[in-house]
Amino acid sequence: MSDALPDIAALPFEKAMQELEEIVGKLEKGAVSLDESVKLYERGEALKRRCEALLKEAEARVETIVLSESGAPKGAAPLDVA
């Protein structure tokens, strides 16, 4: 793995997911050394946490449409993220 990897905290969702998919592919092929596998796994875990955090942020911004008694849209309410 290169020492010039981008900072995970600065990665947008799409880039983090793309790198995570590449890591999974390398690990599935088994064509890397044990030491490299451990490094890849650790970075993959960090990327997974980044993706989960970004998804949670996005969910918090999603709004649901509130309907009036007649069924017409009357506004929006924050998504109930539990």
Largest CA distance in the chain: 64
- Give the number of other CB atoms < 10 A from CB of residue 28: 8
Structure tokens at 58: 């996005």
Taking the C-alpha atoms of residue 29 and residue 34, their distance in angstroms, rounded to an integer, is 13
Higher pLDDT, 35 or 61: 35
Question: For 7-59, how does the pLDDT look when each residue is reduced to its tens digit (9 = 90+)?
Answer: 999 999 999 999 999 999 999 999 899 999 999 999 999 999 999 999 988 87
pLDDT of residue 13: 97
Three-state helix/strand/coil letters over 18-34: HHHHHHHHHHHHCCCCH
pLDDT at 2 over 50: no
Q: Kindly report the pTM of this predicted structure.
A: 0.72
